[in-house]
Structure 1
Amino acid sequence: MKGTLAVLGEVDGVGAAAFLRDGQLDDLLIDAPDDRIRPGAIFRARATRPMKGQGGLILSSPQGPLFFRQAKGIASGQRLIVQAATYAEGGKATPITDRIVFKSRFCLVTPGAPGLNISRDIKDEERRVELRTLCDAEMGDDGLGIVLRSVCAEADDDAVLDDLLEMLALARQVMSEPVDGDEELLLDGPDAQTLAWRDWPVADQADADDGAFERHGLHEAIAASRRANVPLGGSAHMYVEPTRAFVAVDVNTGGDTSPAAGLKANIAAIRALPRALRLRGLGGQIVVDAAPMPKKDRRQIEQVARLAFKADAIETSLVGWTPLGHLELQRKRERLPLSESLR
């Protein structure tokens, strides 16, 4: 089918959401197990012990240990309101921040950072004025800031205002909780279907009826995403394999022995890599073992990588090339690996 389709349902009894583009699975969100802390969860936590040599601090929470990197001036036993920033690596404490953000489809509410900001992607000055007028009346003196997301450019004013009022009420409720109190989960992180509503573009069609995943053949597509091999067209392919230290990406030309085979395979691999990482839920350090090519072609690969990851919603930084010719990237751990979501 042509166009986009959002599918909501379950995979092996776990809540999930899938986004198809022209019949191909383009994005996949699956609920994390109950024993994992979701990014966005807000806690009242207690400082326990410093991490000497790392400049960090371990905090305790009802759902397990938390790791706070910027921890100067915090005494043992002190209570803080903090938010889970990313998923934890296996066996480690969940990274957190004290810069709380309440995020929804149309807006972000930022306690402690007052003011109204409108996404730079909204270029229409008339629309910016309309949005500012819409929100001015809701700006209080309680230290809550508002950021309007780019989706507001084409959104209905009533939808934007309703969403804003709901998020302001939620932020006021959570931030009014006393800091001095028992350790507590104040707000859970969003599940897969909430994230889909919040972050995905509006699809041409949607299917949330029973059996939706089976109806659109998504179980087969998900099974393919659990395999390491990713076809790149022709005989070229790459393997995307997570290790404990990093995600290894091995690019191969296959049976193509032409002089430009390495460059063509590497370009195809970098263009396909954001989708491959999204579907597998992979982040952290990414190391790409590129197919053989001249050093002069590295700049072209870097340009392709910047464009490919700019269009991806998950923050990914291009680090550079190693002496062995590997391309390194750093990607935020916003998702749990598919292998951990579906055990």
Structure 2
Amino acid sequence: MKGRTIILDHIQDREAAALMVDGKLDDFLIAGDAPPPGTIYRARADRPVKGQGGMFLSTPDGPAFLRQVKGLAPGEQLLVQVTGYAEPGKAIPVTTKLLFKSRYAIVTPTAPGLNVSRSIRDEDERDRLLEIAHEEMDASDHGLILRSCCAGADAEDIAEDIASMAALATQVLDDPGTGPEMLTEGDTPHALAWRDWTDPAEIVTEPGGFETHSVLDALDQVRGISEPLPGGGHLYIQPTRALVAVDVNTGSDTSLAAGQKANFACAKVLPRALRVRGLGGQITLELAPMPKKDRRGFEASLRAAFKADSEETTLAGWTPLGHFELQRKRGRVPVAEVLK
């Protein structure tokens, strides 16, 4: 099946959303048990962590951890936002830099100024969007970023989105309450799909959509460790407690360039393979044998592939043993943890 299809459904009583591109699962979101990224708390500083420059905080959903604290004393109250999913048994990662994010607009209370996504290069369109931004944010001290999907979008829809996020930001920042409390909950999978999957697509909302559009079949592969590569090779992706190990296998290819071909295929496939599995943290690639002169080309291919990915990923580089390491934001629920 050609084209893009967004399917909104439930699986094992959990809300989930799937993006199919040309009949292949390209992205998958599922609700977990932990508070989702974007959740905002009024938290209380609990105790500092010596040597790490961080502070444990108290929230209604358990302990949270805030990095790079300065001048914060135990007992003080502050607003924080969940940035990702914690490993089992660890504190919720949070930040004090709040973002109020929607389909068209991101309101940034700690970063004033009106900005338009750099991917929108048409000057007339940028002027149109800045005019809308000035009209809606004229009386606000908050900052604003207009996202790339604003290009060509209806002015009323953009203005409504800006106004909604600005009002939410003001409501949260002016909240008069005391004590640990959840002030806003992060987006659900269906809301995230509407917010982030903005390219034109067919939308399927009928119950049973995952079965009729082959999402369940695709998830069977996602819950396994094997990911096929073009040319007959495979990736073997195995999460451990410490890291995610990725082994590149050339399969039946016995040519002299088999390792190089499998590794470059890995670079193109890896972002999607990690994305649909919801994997993050430290990732170590055990690549197939290839000449050192090809490493620069492999890095360039890997960097280009992750540039279009939705989760922030840092390419850490090569180890003395010839492995390649990545550090990826834990912005998703690991699918294998919630779908048994």
* Length-normalised TM-score, structure 1: 0.97
Residue 251 of structure 1: CA displacement? 0.3
Shift of 1:204: 2.7
Contact persistence 2:237–2:245 (CA under 8 A)? yes
1:18 aligns with 2:15: no
Q: Report what 2:193 is aligned to.
A: 196
1:228 aligns with 2:225: yes
- Once the 2 structures are TM-superposed, how far is the Cα of residue 38 of structure 1 from its aligned partner? 1.0
- Aligned-partner Cα distance in 1 for 2:130–2:85: 35
Cα deviation code 1:207-227 (max 9, x no counterpart): 101211111121111111000
Query: Over residues 153-212 of structure 1, what are the superposed CA-to-partner deviations in whole Å (9 max), with x where a residue is unaligned?
Result: 12111111111111111111111113x612100001111111111111234311101211
Cα distance in 1 between the residues matched to 2:127 and 2:315: 36
- Asked whether the equivalents of residues 113 and 143 of structure 1 are also in contact (C-alpha less than 8 Å), the reply is no
The match for 1:212 is 209
Alignment of 1:217-296 (within 5 A): 217-296=214-293
Alignment partners' CA distance in 1, 2:336 and 2:224: 10
Alignment of 1:140-219 (within 5 A): 140-178=138-176, 181-219=178-216
Which residue, out of 80, 83, 86, partners 1:85? Answer: 83
State the SS of the aligned residue for 2:160.
helix
Secondary structure of the residue aligned to 1:65 is strand
Contact 1:6–1:203 at 8 Å: present in 2 too?
Answer: no
Residue 2 of structure 2 is matched in structure 1 by 2
Does structure 1 residue 315 correspond to structure 2 residue 312? Answer: yes
| Aligned counterparts of 2:338 and 2:141: Cα–Cα separation in 1 | 37
Return the letter of the residue paired with 2:204. D
The answer for the alignment partner of 1:125 in structure 2 is: 123
Q: How many residues align?
A: 340
| Greater mean alpha carbon deviation, residues 55-64 or residues 229-238 | 229-238
Give 1:140 shift: 4.1
Give, in whole Å, the separation in 2 of the partners of 1:140 and 1:173.
Answer: 17
Q: Could you tell me which runs of 5 or more consecutive residues in structure 2 were left unpaired when the two chains were aligned.
A: none
In the alignment, what sits opposite 2:38? 40
Moved more, 230-239 or 1-10: 230-239
Structure 1 stretches of 5 or more lacking a match? none
Q: Give the secondary-structure state (helix, strand or coil) at the position aligned to 2:62.
A: coil
Shift of 1:141: 4.8
2:64 — aligned with what? Answer: 66
| Equivalent residue in structure 2 for 1:302, among 294, 299, 303 | 299
CA distance in 2, matches of 1:203, 1:63: 37
**Contact 2:136–2:159 (8 Å) recurs in 1:** no
Cα distance in structure 1, aligned partners of 2:115 and 2:36: 27
